[in-house]
Structure 1
Amino acid sequence: MPKRHAVVAGAGIGGLTAGIALHRRGWRVTVCERAAEPPATGAGIGLAPNALRALDAIGVDAARAAGSAVPTTMGVRRSGGQWLTRTGTADMAARYGMPPIAVPRTALTAALAAALPPEALRYGTAVTAVDDTGGGPVVRTEAGADLPADLVVAADGIHSPLRQACFPTHPGLHYLGEIAWRAIVDAPDLLVPAMSETWGRGERFGVTPLSDGRYYLYATALVPAGTRSADPRAELRRRFGSWHDPIPALLDRIERLDRADILQNDLYDLAAPLPSLHHGRIAWLGDAAHAMAPNLGQGGCQAIEDAVVLAHLLPVGDVGAGGGSGGGGDTGGSGPGADPIPDALAAYTAARRDRTDMVRVRARRVGRLGALRNPLAAAARDLAVRATPARLALRGMDDLFNGFRLPG
């Protein structure tokens, strides 16, 4: 029986999840990735309950596949060490049915890649353009091979060339005013049980326990776009070396890393929502669709939600099986034999655009709060956060952690 073919541009977390979800819907999938091979280094990623539910919907157990760590508590601290807010993960598990977990990003992408047929992944194959003017999209690649498809999933990242080509009047990216440093260090002797983010004045430092005694560390500072330190290890020591324990000890471990193992990136989000998350037979997801600040830990989580909802709404891959959507009916709405894909993509935009833009806007606001530089404003912020009862702070996450739904 012939199968519908989806080409996915990008083998990040969103693209790989889309590939798995479509493969398990019976589609033939080709995932094209610009990089010559899977990444050997990288940062960590937190998977909140909404992302874990989405992965579970396509049969992926992230904790079993990629390893995980569950911190005892999560919260925000001041640079002197005082907790502004703190929540036990047991309380989160009781409220949301499961706790958030933290995994190395490379381990997660490797586990997702392993869930695809080997022939589905094409590294060293950059998608350069999509010709969607004929009966179906044709994907152009840097290698020169054209890939006819029934659907193109644009998971090509924050600078998405496909987004720029199809939405040329969109304002594009917005610089958030901060640089981020990220690294993973080995420190099994430190035994830090809490996932925390510490707020200073215009600077932040995050600590996330991973499996096997490792820690994902990140830091941010308000600087002009393009600012880079010649030695990020020394820069981090200069900025954060006097902050509370265990930050100085973790900085000692950072100094043992090669400079290349410390990622430095300007932080951007999308300046405005896209008018639509699809165009013709191209669907955008993840950073390509709604790049957001990392402040809520939802960038990867929303990409996973996108991928699972998209596959759910599309028809099954076996062409002879009919035009039914994931919701159990013909999404074409034009009678027997109608092409169901266009209406499925319209339903995807309707299901995802408002939710992802809400998260994008909220993440930007939280970032502005955490990056306050004025001492009076920062003191007022800290007082307000400390005065908020933990149960109310946790309730404020309901729309994020309980917000994943498969359209019926």
Structure 2
Amino acid sequence: MQHGMRAVVVGAGIGGLTAALALHRHHWHVTLCERAPEAPTTGAGIGLAPNALRALAAIGTDAARAAGTAVPAAMGVRRPDGRWLLRTTTAELASRYGIPPIAVARPAFTAALAAELPPGTLRFGTTVTTVDNAATGPTLHTAEGGTLSADLVVAADGINSPLRRAFFPSHPGLHYTGETAWRTLLDAPDLPVSAMSETWGRGERFGITPLSDGRLYLYATAVLPAGTRAPDPRAELAHRFGAWHDPIPALLDRVSRLAPTAVLQNGLHDLAAPLPALHHGRIAWLGDAAHAMAPNLGQGGCQAIEDAAVLAHLLPPGDDPAGRDRIPAALAAYTAARRARTHAIRLRARRAGRLGALRNPLAAAARNTAVRATPTPLALRALDSLFNGFRLPD
């Protein structure tokens, strides 16, 4: 393998790790560069929907084995007083899609992916700054003064992707959705939560997701000007959501005992417009670097995983002596396979966020009435294109 084709993956988030693993199993020699000095130990959760689980299976990774198999009994949408607007069981989802979604802690999931890579693949503290000769034989330069040569570069360098800005300088960049989000992980075994829920207020939302390891992933959003930050996110959450339905007050009491840094806060952004292509020369973009989307459908990480599986599937095997000449055609096929799907999901996530963030009392009431009146089978049908949409191209 050392004499085969070489890929450099930039960014060790979920997309980059999955891409590195998929390429490794496709007989590529892979180097994964991550600017952070070490693996994260704190963070949020991620939902692995059936489409992402199928994509992981396609590259030979059993997410359930890596992250646990516990799933919530039910999921749905509620009002601040606790009344369910829409509710379905996990059994119904499993029956419809063949596999239930699971939710995992991001640090544990990324650690599980990294553990499947060969020793020495992942290089922390390595910041890729530029790529030369992208069309013929990429050379990567790092802030630490090193260089790397590759047959392929995978840009998984996140929502603020420097490589996206460098190679698509006329692209408008990011779009602020109008919402700020808070996220944290909570260990509260004495507060059992059996359902995954998102509660809609007026311009505010609160989500509770039981994770496969027994912890809870909590998130909240509020319509706020870009850049707004509370001095103490714990107090801000208690102020906004402390009077909402059980178990939110009890959960926020536990959050108040966490370190302030345990609650992540960030503005929600998506890509303002699709990239003209998901590749340039011998560089392929995936995940947030390629099609950053708001988290309202829980598909950001799932689509990055799909990207990685499709990219590795379309590329020639890394040990194919004649494969290097086929890389440009494979990357064009990758753009053709992924651009339309990810663009459609990005727009759909933006629209879903606008619906959940309605502030006008009459508009919010009309939204709630419409959701309550939607039969569960019809609501599930709307998920079919997401959960059944993953395909490996012929």
TM-score computed with the length of structure 2 as normaliser: 0.98
In 1: Cα distance, 2:89 partner to 2:76 partner: 9
**Residue aligning to 1:203:** 204
Structure 2 residue identity aligned to 1:366: A
Displacement after TM superposition at 1:269 (Å): 0.2
Over residues 342-393 of structure 1, what are the superposed CA-to-partner deviations in whole Å (9 max), with x where a residue is unaligned?
0000000000000000100000000000000000000000000000000000
Q: Secondary structure at the match of 2:219?
A: strand
Closer/same/farther in 2, CA of residues 243 and 106 from structure 1, 3 Å limit: same
Structure 1 residue identity aligned to 2:63: A
In 1: Cα distance, 2:62 partner to 2:238 partner: 38
In 2: Cα distance, 1:237 partner to 1:169 partner: 42
Q: Secondary structure at the match of 1:191?
A: coil
Q: Secondary structure at the match of 1:103?
A: strand
Which consecutive residues of structure 2, in runs of 5 or more, have no partner in the other structure?
A: none
Does the 8 A contact of 2:11 with 2:35 survive in 1?
Answer: yes
After TM superposition, list the pairs within 5 Å mapping 1:103-114 onto structure 2.
Answer: 103-114=104-115
**Residue aligning to 2:379:** 393
2:93 is equivalent to residue 92 of structure 1: yes
Q: Secondary structure at the match of 1:18?
A: helix
Closer/same/farther in 2, CA of residues 280 and 382 from structure 1, 3 Å limit: same
After TM superposition, list the pairs within 5 Å mapping 1:7-406 onto structure 2.
Answer: 7-132=8-133, 135-320=136-321, 322-323=322-323, 339-406=325-392
What is the RMSD computed on CA atoms of the aligned residues?
A: 1.0
In 1: Cα distance, 2:69 partner to 2:258 partner: 23
In 2: Cα distance, 1:306 partner to 1:202 partner: 32
Q: Secondary structure at the match of 2:359?
A: coil
Percent identity between the two aligned chains: 74
Structure 2 residue identity aligned to 1:391: P
Does the 8 A contact of 1:68 with 1:103 survive in 2?
Answer: no
Does the 8 A contact of 2:68 with 2:213 survive in 1?
Answer: no
Displacement after TM superposition at 1:132 (Å): 2.1
- State how many pairs are aligned: 393
Does the 8 A contact of 2:35 with 2:126 survive in 1?
Answer: yes
Q: Secondary structure at the match of 1:213?
A: coil
Q: Secondary structure at the match of 2:120?
A: helix
In 2: Cα distance, 1:303 partner to 1:51 partner: 9
Closer/same/farther in 2, CA of residues 133 and 391 from structure 1, 3 Å limit: closer
Structure 2 residue identity aligned to 1:136: G
Which of 248-257 and 125-134 deviates more?
Answer: 125-134
Does the 8 A contact of 2:135 with 2:282 survive in 1?
Answer: no
Does the 8 A contact of 2:206 with 2:220 survive in 1?
Answer: yes
Displacement after TM superposition at 1:67 (Å): 2.2
Which consecutive residues of structure 1, in runs of 5 or more, have no partner in the other structure?
A: 324-337
Q: Secondary structure at the match of 1:29?
A: strand
Over residues 239-295 of structure 1, what are the superposed CA-to-partner deviations in whole Å (9 max), with x where a residue is unaligned?
000000010011011011100110001000000000000011110000000000000
Moved over 3 A (4+): none
Displacement after TM superposition at 1:118 (Å): 1.6
TM-score computed with the length of structure 1 as normaliser: 0.95
Displacement after TM superposition at 1:68 (Å): 4.2
In 2: Cα distance, 1:140 partner to 1:259 partner: 36
In 1: Cα distance, 2:85 partner to 2:171 partner: 39
Displacement after TM superposition at 1:319 (Å): 3.4
Closer/same/farther in 2, CA of residues 318 and 374 from structure 1, 3 Å limit: same
